[in-house]
Amino acid sequence: MTAKKKWSADVTKHSDALDLEEHVFESDDARKIAASLKRSAEHSDRRKAEPFRSAMSMLNFYINRAGKNLPAARKKVLEDAKDELRAAFGRPKEG
């Protein structure tokens, strides 16, 4: 694989905003994904935005980079993680 194709994996692994737990996006439990992102965002001293925004941005980044290659079941878990993340930060559910 060329370096151009690997940049998004590198961002996910070495983000300047968050130190992610390994395999965080591989869980089948939306609540666990949200809790992990929340922990990472709250403990990061390198993020530029508030913890909620940083965590949601990383989740959206992952979903968007996977794009059409993301199976429907995985996408559902990750989309559900957005609602769980909102709940974890006391934000209203979207929609």
pLDDT in tens, 8-59: 566 555 555 577 888 899 999 999 999 999 999 999 887 778 999 999 999 9
Q: How many domains does the chain have?
A: 1
Report how far apart, in Å, the C-alpha atoms of 60 and of each of 28, 54, 65, 79 are: 17, 10, 8, 9
Range of the domain at 52: 3-88
Short-list 14, 34, 9, CA closest to 24: 34
- Pairwise pLDDT comparison (33 vs 68), residue with the higher score: 33
In a domain, residue 95? The reply is no
In a domain, residue 94? The reply is no
Residue 59 in contact with residue 78, Cβ under 8 Å?
A: yes
For the whole prediction, is pTM greater than 0.75? yes
Is residue 94 very low, low, confident or very high in pLDDT (cuts 50, 70, 90)?
confident
Is residue 82 very low, low, confident or very high in pLDDT (cuts 50, 70, 90)?
very high
